[in-house]
Amino acid sequence: MSAAPERRVHIIDHPLVQHKLTLMRRKDTSTKTFRQLIHELSALLAYEVTRDMPTQEVEVETPLEKTTGRVIDGKKTVLASILRAGNGFLDGMLEVLPSARVGHIGLYRDPATLKPVEYYFKMPSGMEERDVIVLDPMLATGNSAVAAVDLLKRLHPRSICFVCLVACPEGIANFHGHHPDVAIYTPAVDRGLNDHGYIVPGLGDAGDRIFGTK
């Protein structure tokens, strides 16, 4: 049986994570610095997200003798980036998980309805034996995250989790209302949403700040 939704939210409160997130929140942080910070922060998040990843015992031969050790079980992990802002997570995550496969989910938010519109979906083969880490900097309304996991579940991966920089209560409630079995990993749960569907206090539009488009 799935855990209660509130137990499926993992707050990553490591001091380095919180420090870097605070620097990212500053409105005068440059595009270059913001990009570097999300790269560093995503690598730190990767350690936390993979903490409970299943392993299996294998035999290895050291320069001195044979022994046993543990390696990650199953096929390579999939990093599923919700375009475009999710791509800001990829480089840092891939430093920690260099053999991971990468999938992309193209969704944009209709400015009138705030609902996600799908325009691209591409995942590696053999998803039934893979663990998926969904990447999107913000869990605001939660609509894009719900749509992304809807698409992924059609491929029946072994497990799915969702990673973001900042979440809010409305987004968490919406997401776990549809997918109570999918854990959320985030350094921060902010106060809520404004009239435009942005997280407050938040850090602005993550995609614009990563790519310098505003």
Q: What angle do CA 134, 136, 138 make, to 5 degrees?
A: 135
- Marked catalytic residue, from 25, 31, 73, 205: 205
pLDDT at 210: 81
pLDDT at 3: 41
Nearest to 71 by CA among 48, 99, 31, 101: 99
Per-residue tokens: 20: 């870097």
Give the residues of the chain that fall short of pLDDT 50: 1-6
SS3 at position 81: strand
pLDDT at 7: 59
pLDDT at 156: 95
Yes or no: say if 38 and 212 are a contact pair by the CB < 8 Å rule.
no
Q: What is the DSSP letter of 186?
A: E
- Marked catalytic residue, from 50, 109, 158, 181: 109
* 113 annotated active-site: yes
Encode pLDDT of 85-143 as tens digits.
Answer: 888 888 889 998 998 999 999 987 777 776 778 899 999 999 998 999 999 999 998 98
* 205 annotated active-site: yes
- Marked catalytic residue, from 113, 131, 141, 154: 113
pLDDT at 5: 44
Yes or no: say if 85 and 144 are a contact pair by the CB < 8 Å rule.
no
- Marked catalytic residue, from 29, 73, 84, 208: 208
Q: What are phi and psi of 71, to 5 degrees?
A: -130, 160
